[in-house]
Amino acid sequence: AQSVTQLDSHVSVSEGTPVLLRCNYSSSYSPSLFWYVQHPNKGLQLLLKYTSAATLVKGINGFEAEFKKSETSFHLTKPSAHMSDAAEYFCVVSVFNDYKLSFGAGTTVTVRA
Protein backbone atom coordinates (compact mmCIF):
# COMPACT_ATOMS: atom_id res chain seq x y z
CA ALA A 1 0.00 0.00 0.00
CA GLN A 2 1.11 3.55 -0.59
CA SER A 3 0.40 6.78 1.24
CA VAL A 4 1.55 10.38 1.48
CA THR A 5 1.93 12.75 4.38
CA GLN A 6 1.82 16.48 3.81
CA LEU A 7 3.70 17.98 6.68
CA ASP A 8 1.99 21.39 6.70
CA SER A 9 -1.74 21.93 6.67
CA HIS A 10 -1.32 25.69 6.09
CA VAL A 11 1.48 27.75 4.59
CA SER A 12 1.42 31.54 4.46
CA VAL A 13 3.95 33.48 2.41
CA SER A 14 4.44 37.02 1.21
CA GLU A 15 4.15 37.74 -2.48
CA GLY A 16 7.54 37.45 -4.14
CA THR A 17 9.03 35.13 -1.51
CA PRO A 18 9.77 31.40 -1.94
CA VAL A 19 7.18 28.71 -1.33
CA LEU A 20 7.98 25.28 0.11
CA LEU A 21 5.34 22.57 0.51
CA ARG A 22 6.57 19.38 2.13
CA CYS A 23 5.50 15.86 1.26
CA ASN A 24 6.75 12.47 2.43
CA TYR A 25 5.57 9.27 0.82
CA SER A 26 5.42 5.62 1.68
CA SER A 27 5.43 2.99 -1.02
CA SER A 28 6.50 -0.62 -1.32
CA TYR A 29 7.41 -0.16 -4.97
CA SER A 30 8.79 2.57 -7.17
CA PRO A 31 6.16 5.26 -6.96
CA SER A 32 4.74 7.78 -9.34
CA LEU A 33 4.35 11.07 -7.53
CA PHE A 34 2.25 14.07 -8.42
CA TRP A 35 1.37 17.50 -7.18
CA TYR A 36 -2.12 18.78 -7.92
CA VAL A 37 -3.52 22.23 -7.21
CA GLN A 38 -7.16 22.99 -6.45
CA HIS A 39 -8.49 26.52 -6.75
CA PRO A 40 -11.88 27.27 -5.20
CA ASN A 41 -14.72 25.88 -7.30
CA LYS A 42 -12.27 24.55 -9.86
CA GLY A 43 -11.18 21.04 -10.74
CA LEU A 44 -7.88 19.59 -9.60
CA GLN A 45 -5.09 20.60 -11.96
CA LEU A 46 -1.85 18.69 -12.37
CA LEU A 47 1.21 20.81 -11.54
CA LEU A 48 3.87 18.19 -12.17
CA LYS A 49 4.62 14.49 -11.96
CA TYR A 50 7.56 12.21 -11.26
CA THR A 51 7.65 8.83 -12.99
CA SER A 52 11.23 7.56 -12.45
CA ALA A 53 12.94 9.83 -14.94
CA ALA A 54 14.81 12.95 -13.75
CA THR A 55 14.59 13.46 -10.01
CA LEU A 56 14.11 17.22 -10.39
CA VAL A 57 10.76 17.77 -12.03
CA LYS A 58 9.65 21.08 -13.47
CA GLY A 59 5.97 21.84 -13.70
CA ILE A 60 3.64 24.60 -14.72
CA ASN A 61 3.58 28.14 -13.32
CA GLY A 62 7.18 28.02 -12.11
CA PHE A 63 6.76 25.11 -9.68
CA GLU A 64 9.25 22.31 -9.34
CA ALA A 65 9.72 19.30 -7.08
CA GLU A 66 12.61 17.04 -6.23
CA PHE A 67 12.28 13.32 -5.68
CA LYS A 68 14.60 12.12 -2.91
CA LYS A 69 14.40 8.39 -2.47
CA SER A 70 16.69 8.32 0.56
CA GLU A 71 14.41 10.74 2.36
CA THR A 72 11.16 9.43 0.80
CA SER A 73 10.29 13.03 0.06
CA PHE A 74 8.81 14.97 -2.85
CA HIS A 75 8.75 18.60 -1.75
CA LEU A 76 7.23 21.29 -3.97
CA THR A 77 8.91 24.66 -4.37
CA LYS A 78 8.50 27.93 -6.20
CA PRO A 79 11.11 30.69 -6.06
CA SER A 80 8.67 33.59 -6.00
CA ALA A 81 5.04 33.36 -4.91
CA HIS A 82 2.30 35.14 -6.80
CA MET A 83 -1.13 36.07 -5.51
CA SER A 84 -2.65 33.58 -7.95
CA ASP A 85 -0.81 30.74 -6.17
CA ALA A 86 -3.25 30.92 -3.28
CA ALA A 87 -4.98 27.54 -3.41
CA GLU A 88 -5.06 24.02 -1.97
CA TYR A 89 -2.18 21.75 -2.95
CA PHE A 90 -2.23 17.96 -2.85
CA CYS A 91 0.68 15.55 -2.96
CA VAL A 92 -0.37 12.28 -4.59
CA VAL A 93 1.22 8.87 -4.97
CA SER A 94 0.48 5.84 -7.08
CA VAL A 95 2.38 2.67 -7.81
CA PHE A 96 3.17 1.84 -11.44
CA ASN A 97 0.21 0.12 -13.07
CA ASP A 98 -1.92 0.86 -10.04
CA TYR A 99 -4.57 3.29 -11.13
CA LYS A 100 -5.52 4.27 -7.61
CA LEU A 101 -4.27 7.68 -6.58
CA SER A 102 -3.62 8.20 -2.88
CA PHE A 103 -3.93 11.84 -1.88
CA GLY A 104 -2.44 13.65 1.04
CA ALA A 105 -4.67 15.76 3.26
CA GLY A 106 -3.66 18.93 1.43
CA THR A 107 -1.81 22.15 2.18
CA THR A 108 -3.62 25.47 2.02
CA VAL A 109 -1.42 28.25 0.68
CA THR A 110 -2.21 31.87 1.38
CA VAL A 111 -0.22 34.67 -0.21
CA ARG A 112 0.05 38.02 1.53
CA ALA A 113 0.37 41.20 -0.51
Indicate the residue among 9 and 17 with the shorter CB distance to another protein.
9
User: Is the Cβ of residue 8 or residue 103 nearer to another protein in the bound state?
Assistant: 103
Q: What is the secondary structure of the chain as a DSSP string?
A: --EEEES-SEEEEETTS-EEE-EEEE-SSPEEEEEEEE-TTS--EEEEEESSS-SEEE-GGG-EEEEETTTTEEEEEESS--GGG-EEEEEEEEETT----EE---EEEEEE-
> Rule CB under 8 A: is residue 5 a binding residue for another protein?
no
Minimum separation from the CB atom of position 38 to another protein (A): 9
94 lies in the site for another protein, by CB under 8 A: yes
Binding mask 37-66 for another protein (x = CB under 8 A): ----xxxxxx--x-x---------------
- Contact footprint for another protein (CB under 8 A): 32, 34, 36, 41-46, 49, 51, 90, 92, 94, 96-97, 99-106
